Amino acid sequence: MSSFIATMMLFAKSLLGALAVLIIALLAGSRHFYIAGLVPLFPTFALIAHALVGQERGPEALRETALFGLYALLPYAAYLLAVYLLAPRLGLTHTLLAATLLWVAAAALLLVLWTRLHGA
């Protein structure tokens, strides 16, 4: 039974991902194209992560996970700033590649600093 539930959860997550992509595609072609940038920020995966951490590790671990999530906004902000600044100067592929590499570097720095400060 547990295997069936796990399979159904995976299927549900896949459907949510497909729905998000469909909504983003529809919004990108509309006059409200900018809302497509909000859809990926719906906390689908955060809800799953928080439910699992809260259930398995308790409220203090959930609080720490939420705090780390707040800090995790910094690499995303770096990515968005890079896209904003590079879009008029570079082509789409180079802009997104450079912004993604910046996100990876910022996320790696965040992980190094977090583990040093929190002893994880």
* pLDDT at res. 120: 58
Q: Are residues 21 and 63 in the same domain?
A: no
pLDDT digits (tens, 9 = 90+) for 55-90: 999 999 999 999 999 999 999 999 999 999 999 999
* pLDDT at res. 37: 87
Has residue 93 got a pLDDT over 70? yes
Has residue 1 got a pLDDT over 60? no
* 100: containing domain: 59-120
**Which H or E run contains 50?**
helix 44-57
pLDDT greater at residue 40 or residue 1? 40
Q: Are residues 31 and 68 in the same domain?
A: no
Q: What is the pTM of this model?
A: 0.79
Cα–Cα dist 46/52, whole Å: 10
Contact (CB, 8 A) for 83 and 92: no
Q: Is residue 105 domain-resident?
A: yes
pLDDT greater at residue 7 or residue 29? 29
* pLDDT at res. 105: 98
Cα–Cα dist 41/44, whole Å: 8
Q: Are residues 73 and 116 in the same domain?
A: yes
Triad 72, 118, 77: Cα angle to 5°: 15
Q: Are residues 35 and 89 in the same domain?
A: no
Q: Is residue 54 domain-resident?
A: no
* pLDDT at res. 92: 95
User: Any residues with CB less than 8 A from the CB of 78 and at least 6 apart, and which?
Assistant: 102, 103, 106
* pLDDT at res. 103: 97
Q: Are residues 63 and 34 in the same domain?
A: no
